Amino acid sequence: MSVAMSNCGELGWVSDRKGYRYTTMDPLTNAPWPALPPCMQQLATEAAALCGFAGFMPDACLINRYAPGTRMSLHQDKNEQDFSAPIVSVSLGVDAVFQLGGLQRSDKPLRMGLQHGDVVVWGGEDRLRFHGVLPIKPQQHPLTGADRINLTFRKAG
Ligand code: MD6
Ligand code: FE
């Protein structure tokens, strides 16, 4: 099972034969990614500031849809240019269990439940921690049905 992905903002994250990278165009439409809605940019900037990262200006928002059974294995987010900017993650829809690990893949992760509306910010010395999502359990949410939507705001370029 894999996560369905799209993007909004100036840059979008794509994975293809050439590997993982950020592009200014959606390869499925050959058009620029849709603009980041101002209210969402503001939410990401305010959440980052509350966590000590003033002036966070995301240029990319990854949109991930997790169907039941879908997981994301432990990984680091390291395709961005500037690791001094945090990552802001907004969870919508059904519940998930987030794993927050250390700087080595082998470090034992802690588990955190994430519910509709939860926001996680990681940055500074924690920016490159391994993280992931356990398989989504079958459940229903009034707004998203069986799915979980995750938005991650980044300064990619
Ligand atoms: C989450 N998402 O879904 C965390 N990373 O709660 C991620 O860590 C993530 O959704 C890289 C690319 C897409 C993602
Ligand atoms: Fe990630």
Q: What is d(CA 86, CA 52) in angstroms, rounded to the nearest whole number?
A: 10
* pLDDT confidence tier of residue 54, bands split at 50, 70 and 90: very high
Read off the CATH number of the domain in which 23 is found. Answer: 2.60.120.590
60-83 pLDDT per residue, tens: 999 999 999 999 999 999 999 999
Do residues 114 and 73 touch, judged by C-beta distance below 8 A? Answer: no
Which DSSP symbol is given to 103? S
Q: How far is ligand 1, taken at its centre, from the CA of residue 132, in Å? A: 7
**Total tally of structural domains belonging to the chain:** 1
pTM: 0.94
Closest-CA residue, ligand 1 atom 7, reads 132
Q: Is 70 in the pocket of ligand 1 (CB under 6 A)?
A: no
Which ranges in the chain belong to alpha helices (H)? 38-50
Contact status, residue 95 vs residue 114, Cβ threshold 8 Å: yes
pLDDT greater than 80 at residue 20: yes
> Are the C-beta atoms of 33 and 25 separated by less than 8 Å?
yes
Pocket test residue of 63, 100, 133 for ligand 1, highest count of atoms within 8 A of CB = 133
Q: Which two tokens stand for residue 105?
A: 């893949």
Q: Examine the pLDDT at 17 and tell me if it is beyond 90.
A: no
Quote the ligand 1 centre to 54 CA distance (angstroms): 22
Cα(147)–Cα(66) distance, integer angstroms: 6
What is the pLDDT at residue 1?
56
**Ligand index nearest the alpha carbon of residue 89:** 1
Cα–Cα distance measured from residue 136 to residue 119, given in angstroms and rounded to the nearest whole number: 18
Q: What are the tens digits of pLDDT across the range 117-155? A: 999 999 999 999 999 999 999 999 999 999 999 999 999
* Residue-number span of the structural domain to which 141 is assigned: 4-154
Q: Report percent pLDDT > 70 for the chain.
A: 99
Which pLDDT value is given to residue 16?
82
